[in-house]
Amino acid sequence: MKNSFYTIILILILGQASHFGLPWWGLAPIAAIAGWLFPQRTWSCLLAGFAGGFLLWITVALWLDTGNEGMLSARIGTLFMGLSRWAVLATSGVLGGLIGGMGCLTGTWAGSLFGRTAA
Amino acid sequence: MRVFRFLVALLLTILLVWQLHSPQQLGTSRIPALGDFFNPFTGFWQNAEPADITGILNGPLSIPGLKQPVQVVYDDLKVPHIFAENLADAIMAQGYVTAQNRLWQMDISTRQTSGRLSEVLGARTLHLDKLARRRGLLFAAENDWKAWQTSPETALYMEAYAAGVNAWIDQLTPADYPLEFKLLGYAPEPWSPLKTALVVESMIDALNKRDNDLAATNSLAVFGRDTFNYLYPLWNPRQQPIVPDTGQWKGLNVSLPEMSAQLPATTQRDTGIPDMSLPSAFRDFYGSNNWAVSGARTRSGYPILANDTHLPLKLPHVWFQQQLHTPERNCYGVVVPGVPGIAIGFNEEIAWGFTNVSQEVVDWYLIDWTDQTRTAYRIDGAPQQADLRVERIAVKGQPDVLDTVRYTIWGPVVYDDPEHPLYNCAYRYVTHDAPTPESLGQFLNIGRAKTYTDYRNAIPGLDCLAQNVAFASHSGDIAITVEGKFPVRAREQGRFILDGSQSANAWHGFVPQEDLPALLNPSRGFVFSANQHSTPPSYPYFYLGNFDDNRGRRIFNRLEHMQGVTADSMKSIQLDNYNQLAADALPIMLQLLDRTALEAADQEWLKALDAWKYEYKKDLIAPSLFEMWFQDTYLLTWDEQEAFRQQKIDVLFPEGWRFIELLTKDTTSVFFDRRDTPERETARNIVTQAFREMSQKAREKGQEALTWSVFKGFAIRHLTSQAAFSRLGLQTSGSRNTPNAIGQDHGPSFRMVVELTQPVKAWGVYPGGQSGNPGSAYYDNMIDTWVEGNYFELLLLERPDAIPDNRLLVRQTLLPK
């Protein structure tokens, strides 16, 4: 539980590097580092990674969307088969979550090769 | 086992990222790479501009090449007011702020004109690219830039503009790219003066490419000379020309031999150039209105100038507004993004505005090839080699396509499909000729003009963009000039496809500047134009074109009776929904209509039409009824033309005004007889039949769908046509034939009214916004005001700090680097 929490926090902190030029897929290695440092069981690792990636992406998106008063997300929703503003936000979150989850799992399983296992 | 599961996880992660980084194909639509697009750090979210950008400071920013600091004040419409110490700095700053707001539009328009769409969009646009190249648009732009370079001054300003655009591009990261680049998956590339030339060529091409030569040639061949003259007279006697005959052309003798090479009719419809065989009354029109009223007729005692340019209405909007202030000039107006200076606008002393001249500056010459290879052709019997220009077209994801275009002394051979009727024709187009080195001078110089003489000196720089340039000054002058480069033609030369084997068929030079139709301070107290004939037939030079017959007459009638003119009365003409064509046609049609042949159900429509005052107001049904009735009458009458079209022989349809003339004067003409019936019909039968057809259609549609704004339908679409970035279903009055010329996707692209008091007062509006970003509040913020027929007050500031607090959006300082 504690490791899941740390994983999420670390992803949120290191993920800020994407504001400074780290490519968006840098989320995968960041989540892997978190998974390596805080070993977890498969599902909790997937879930923590997902939560970290999801929160990271959706908070930034939500921040921009709020300032924009939802003008652009409404247009993008129309572009993608009529998604609602919230569905557009969720899409960004879920994509971040998937990358975070898979990255975290890869990191945790890499750690287990070196004896780092969940408590 | 652990190694294996790690490798699987690693592989899946890499695959996931790879997938999210790859564009996908869903049916026919291309979906951007989802990770690239949806991530909030570099994806579309970064284009979600804060809704309120008031006071958000942007800078100071450094621009390499700038000589002195430039202050930019954005007003509440996001119009930049640029204050610079010299013109080069002002132009550089203009390039910078234009790119800041409209970069993708600038990129895509140059790609379209230069035939480089496929490079970023793939093979689906290859046919467009080939046609653009074969029509010689890139060739023309290259000639422009070559010519401009011979003038150090022109070159300096072109380079300054490019440097400004590039200073913006250079500091962009992928996160900052305009949304459309992200959507289409490509990156901006550096700007260059050649690209400015391409934007100029795209304007010229949109406005000046029209011709009817193929359809006219076919019509002459199938109908014979007498019928041709009967159906297609060149001059409408009810027309009010732009420049009347006041004896100014006496002694001007331009006699050239009549010519009309009769060539056989060709089959197959023209495909690449818009179908111009239907008369203008049925087409959306690239037209415009402008006029100026002298101080004798205005309440303030100073002239007022009005201009509204009718263009395809898209998002991002075709025009960009700005003020340019230097020690020598202080002007405000619009220009197409990518071009330095001001096209239409005003300064403290003068105002000026454009309408399209609509004279034909394009001809086709049938080439006499020496053999099947089509590499040499005969001129006066002597063989001559064609210049072969190889066009290399890059195609995304595929090898480059090479296309050889044959250039003759006339111009390029456009079509490479042997089935095309113009396959063996070369294209003579004014814009292919090298312009004068100062050819953009109009946009740069008119801004500092103070008098009529300055204006006359500035406008020859328009070169091949043929425009009616209206003018008014604080000192009290009003004027209009039909400006451009017009071929000197023998009578009817170029009305039909010309025989390209004879050098004698070449144009006889160009009309000298001093002979161009011009009008200064006429006693009637106003000048005006609305794409109608430039002159009455007594003008000694022969010309052809697609002229509008309706808006100009209405504007003339309104201006003629107006006294104590104010800016509001000028706005009321710009918003006038009266259709002169309906006013001419409907009384005659109602008179011809056999009311005894109607049923009770038809009476409802008749009542609406009887009561109608020819106003195309959005909530009326009469305009829809008239449009259907008139069109049905027209098509039932011209079933002969329609039959040729069915056989893929492109023929001309008579002009709307000529049709009305026949309905009035020649009701038993053989053309009113339907080919598919044994009876001999007259105009009366046709009008009645058409009414009943209309009545039937109207009943099927119902009241709601007959409401004019619904019947017409009006939308402003994004350049990609994506509904998400468009404004659909806008309720508008007007039609292509009313001064308020709002069609289905065309319309007044910038309404401007300038009253030349001191200080000058100006109002304007366009249906778009200053920002090209669909994520900006300034993307489409002026559309509703435009739809409602309201205006914004345009600010011509004396100093950066002269802006009223309630209209200040943000200040930006540009510094030399």
Q: Is B324 exposed, middle or buried (0-12, 13-18, 19+ CB in 10 A)?
A: buried
Amino acid (1-letter code) at residue B85: E
B185 in reach of chain A (CB within 8 A): no
Question: Nearest Cα to B525, choosing from B241, B299, B306, B296?
Answer: B296
- Spatial distance between the Cα atoms of B661 and B222, rounded to a whole number of angstroms: 23
Asked if B32 and B185 count as a contact pair (C-beta separation under 8 A), the reply is: yes
Look up tokens 């200080």; give the residue.
Answer: B759
3-state secondary structure of B183: helix
Give the pLDDT of residue B274: 37
Give the pLDDT of residue A115: 82
- Spatial distance between the Cα atoms of B608 and B579, rounded to a whole number of angstroms: 16
Domains of chain B by residue range: 580-712
- Spatial distance between the Cα atoms of B790 and B159, rounded to a whole number of angstroms: 38
Q: If residue B691 lies in a helix (H) or strand (E), which one and from where to where?
A: helix B683-706
What does DSSP say about strands B61-63 and B808-816: parallel, antiparallel, or unpaired? parallel
What does DSSP say about strands B24-26 and B29-31: parallel, antiparallel, or unpaired? antiparallel
Q: How many helices (H) and strands (E) does chain A have?
A: 5, 0
- Spatial distance between the Cα atoms of B434 and B148, rounded to a whole number of angstroms: 9
- Spatial distance between the Cα atoms of B340 and B166, rounded to a whole number of angstroms: 14
Write the DSSP assignment of A77-112 as a string of letters. Answer: HHHTTT--HHHHHHHHHHHHHHHHHHHHHHHHHHHH
The per-residue b/e assignment along B725-735, b for 16 or more CB within 10 angstroms, e otherwise, is bbbeebebbbb
- Spatial distance between the Cα atoms of B577 and B574, rounded to a whole number of angstroms: 9
Query: Within its chain, how far is the Cα of B125 from the centroid?
Result: 22
3-state secondary structure of B414: coil
Of B13, B36, B43, the CB nearest to A28: B13
Around B778, how many Cα atoms within 13 Å sit in the side-chain half-sphere? 21
The minimum CA-CA distance between A52 and chain B, rounded to whole Å, is: 14
Q: What is the DSSP letter of B359?
A: B
Give the pLDDT of residue B306: 98
Q: Which residues of B touch A21 (CB under 8 A)?
A: 173
- Residues in a beta bridge with B578: B615
Q: Is B515 exposed, middle or buried (0-12, 13-18, 19+ CB in 10 A)?
A: middle
Asked if B35 and A96 count as a contact pair (C-beta separation under 8 A), the reply is: no
- Spatial distance between the Cα atoms of B714 and B737, rounded to a whole number of angstroms: 15
Cβ-defined contact of B13 to A61 (cutoff 8 Å):
no
Give the pLDDT of residue B650: 84
Q: Which residues of A touch B42 (CB under 8 A)?
A: 23-24
Q: If residue B312 lies in a helix (H) or strand (E), which one and from where to where?
A: strand B304-312
Question: Nearest Cα to B176, choosing from B162, B187, B161?
Answer: B187
- Spatial distance between the Cα atoms of B521 and B527, rounded to a whole number of angstroms: 8
The ipTM is: 0.97
Q: If residue B479 lies in a helix (H) or strand (E), which one and from where to where?
A: strand B478-483
3-state secondary structure of B254: coil
**SS3 track for B109-145:** HHHHHHCCCHHHHCHHHHHHHHHHHHCCHHHHHHHHH
Q: What is the DSSP letter of B57?
A: -
Give the pLDDT of residue B266: 52
Query: Could you tell me how many CB contacts below 8 A there are between chain A and chain B?
Result: 112
B173 in reach of chain A (CB within 8 A): yes
- Spatial distance between the Cα atoms of B431 and B465, rounded to a whole number of angstroms: 8
| Chain A residue at shortest CA distance from B35 | A95
Regions of chain B where pLDDT drops below 50: 262, 267-277, 280-281
3-state secondary structure of B229: helix
What does DSSP say about strands B314-315 and B717-718: parallel, antiparallel, or unpaired? parallel
| Chain B residue at shortest CA distance from A105 | B9
- Spatial distance between the Cα atoms of A31 and A14, rounded to a whole number of angstroms: 9
CA-based radius of gyration for chain B:
28
Residue of A11, A18, A19, A25 to mutate, testing the B interface (most B Cβ within 10 Å of its Cβ): A25
Close Cβ partners of A3 (under 8 Å, ≥ 6 residues apart): A38, A39, A40, A44, A48, A118, A119
Question: Nearest Cα to A92, choosing from A100, A81, A104?
Answer: A100
Residue of A45, A55, A72 to mutate, testing the B interface (most B Cβ within 10 Å of its Cβ): A72
Query: Within its chain, how far is the Cα of B190 from the centroid?
Result: 26
Regarding the domain delimited by B580-712, which CATH topology (the fold level of the hierarchy) does it fall under?
A: 1.10.1400
Close Cβ partners of B310 (under 8 Å, ≥ 6 residues apart): B285, B286, B287, B288, B289, B741, B746, B747, B748, B749
Domains of chain A by residue range: 2-113
- Spatial distance between the Cα atoms of B339 and B378, rounded to a whole number of angstroms: 40
Asked if B87 and B156 count as a contact pair (C-beta separation under 8 A), the reply is: no
pLDDT digits (tens, 9 = 90+) for B782-811: 999 999 999 999 999 999 999 999 999 999
Taking each helix axis from N to C terminus, what angle separates B622-637 and B603-611, rounded to the nearest 10 degrees? Answer: 110
Q: Which residues of B touch A79 (CB under 8 A)?
A: 722, 724-725
Asked if B97 and B80 count as a contact pair (C-beta separation under 8 A), the reply is: yes
Cβ-defined contact of A99 to B173 (cutoff 8 Å):
no
Q: What is the DSSP letter of A72?
A: H
Look up tokens 């042949």; give the residue.
Answer: B597
Residue of B6, B45, B720 to mutate, testing the A interface (most A Cβ within 10 Å of its Cβ): B45
Asked if B633 and B693 count as a contact pair (C-beta separation under 8 A), the reply is: no
B293 to B83, B126, B758: CA distances (angstroms): 31, 49, 17
The CB density around residue B544, as the number of other CB atoms within 10 Å, is 23
Give the pLDDT of residue B277: 46
Regions of chain A where pLDDT drops below 50: none
What does DSSP say about strands B808-816 and B387-395: parallel, antiparallel, or unpaired? unpaired
- Spatial distance between the Cα atoms of B784 and B790, rounded to a whole number of angstroms: 9
Greatest CA span in chain A, whole angstroms?
Answer: 50
Give the pLDDT of residue B334: 97
- Spatial distance between the Cα atoms of B559 and B760, rounded to a whole number of angstroms: 22
The minimum CA-CA distance between B259 and chain A, rounded to whole Å, is: 56
B611 in reach of chain A (CB within 8 A): no
Close Cβ partners of B597 (under 8 Å, ≥ 6 residues apart): B688, B692
